[in-house]
Amino acid sequence: MTLAQELASYVVRTSYEDLTETTREQLKIRILDSIGCAIGALRGAPIKMLREQIEDFGGNGLCTMIGGGHTSPDRAAFYNVGLVRYLDFNDFYFFIAV
């Protein structure tokens, strides 16, 4: 079994109730951090260019983009991740490494 398959298997068989209280708290922090980064990045120049490119290419509007609009799943994922990563400094890696 590959590492990707092991990770996928873990995700499929694990529920929220299986997580420790500490893990749940950290999960909430990461989700809120990601949402905050995405909202803060909405007016960034690279994000605006990315949005224009997505609109130029069109696509089947099955998935929601953060900040509004719909596009194909691959483009929505690319855009939403771009929003999250644009302002994210991965500050939690320092806590994991300690």
Per-residue pLDDT reduced to its tens digit, 24-61: 999 999 999 999 999 999 999 999 999 999 999 887 88
The pLDDT value given to residue 98: 47
- Name the pTM for this structure: 0.74
Q: Which tokens in the block code for residue 93?
A: 């890696």
How far is 83 from 66, CA to CA, in rounded Å? 8
Inform me whether the pLDDT recorded for 92 exceeds 80: no
